[in-house]
Amino acid sequence: MIKFVYFDLGGVVIKDFSGTNKWEEVKKEWGLTDEYWDKFEPELCIGKQRIDHDLLDAFVSRFEANLSIWPVIDEIHRHCRVGLLTNMYPEMFAAIKNRGILPEVNWNVVIDSSVVGLQKPDPKIFQLSEEKAGVKGDQILFVENTPGHIKAAQTFGWQTFLYDSSCLDDSSRNLFAFFSKVST
The DSSP code for 12 is T
pLDDT per position as a tens digit, 61-104: 999 999 999 999 999 999 999 999 999 999 999 999 999 999 99
pLDDT confidence of residue 183: 83
Q: pTM, whole model, 2 decimals? A: 0.96
Tell whether the model's pLDDT for residue 18 goes beyond 90.
Answer: no
Mean pLDDT of the chain: 96
pLDDT for res 35? 95
pLDDT tens-digit map of 121-148? 999 999 999 999 999 999 999 999 999 9
DSSP 72-95: HHHHHHHHSEEEEEE---TTHHHH
H or E element, residue 128: helix 123-133
Distance from C-alpha of 49 to C-alpha of 146, rounded to nearest angstrom? 23
Q: What is the mean pLDDT of residues 155-170?
A: 96
CATH T-level topology, domain 4-16+63-182: Rossmann fold (3.40.50)
User: What DSSP line would sit under 160-171, residue for residue?
Assistant: EEE--TTSHHHH
Q: Where are the domains of the chain?
A: 4-16+63-182
| Widest CA span in the chain | 51
Residue 19 confidence (pLDDT) above 90: no
For residue 17, give the DSSP letter: S
Question: Tell me, what DSSP letter sits at residue 10?
Answer: B
